[in-house]
Structure 1
Amino acid sequence: MHVYIFVMESITWTSARTRATFGTSAQEAAATKEMAFNQGFYNLFLAIVAGVSIVLSATGSTAVGAALIFAGAGSMVAATLVLFVSSPDKRSAALKQGVIPAFAVIALLGALRR
C-alpha cells in the first residue's frame, strides 16, 4: 500500500487518476507537487523499513526485525491516527492505510508474548 502511495504522491501526483483519488484539482495538485513528492518518499521509506523487518524476522534476527516492525508499522499506525482524528472527511483513507500495519503490530505483540 505504501509503495503504491509513493507512486501516486511522487510520480503521478498531477495525473487525473491520482487527483481523483485524493480529491484535488489540477491547480491544487500543481501547487502541492513538491510537498507530495517529499511525502511520497516518506511512504516509500516506511515500506522499505517494513519489508526489511519482515526479512530480518524470517531469517532469525528476531530482535532487530521486531524493532523495525514496531518502528515502521507503528509509524504507519500513528500517521493513520493523526489523519483519522484531524480530517474526518478522510477517515476512509486513514483506515485503508492503517488497518494492515495495525494488524502487523498486534500480531507482533501476540507473537512476542509467547
Structure 2
Amino acid sequence: MPLHRFAQDRGSVAAEFAVTMPAVLLVLALSVGALGAAVHQVRLADAAADAARALGRGEPVSSAGALSAQLAPGSTLTTSSEGDLVCAEVSRPWALPGGRATGIRLAARACALGGGR
C-alpha cells in the first residue's frame, strides 16, 4: 500500500469522535436522569407506605404528612378511605439535577387496614 493513501485519512478519527461525542453525552445524561427518577420513585413509595401504616394505626393526618415529608422532602400527601382501608398518596414534581423543572410529577400510593380508628 502506498503511504499517501493513509495521508487522505488523516484527521478522520478526530472528526468521527467530534460527531459521536454529543450522542454519547446525551445517552449518558438520559441514563443519569432515569436513575435519579427511579431513586425518587422508591423514596415516594417508602413514604406512602409509612404514611398509610401511620394512618392505619389511627395517627392524625398531620403526623403522617410530617413523616412523608421527612422521607421524601418536597412531597405532598393526599389521603383517602376505601372501605376498611386507608390510603396515602405521596407525590412531588421531579426536577433534573441542578433544579431544572421537567413538568413530570412522580407519585406513589399505598393502603393499609384502618384498624386503629
Which of the five TM-score ranges fits, normalised by the shorter chain?
0.3 to 0.5
The structure richer in helix per residue is: 1
Structure number with bigger Rg: 2
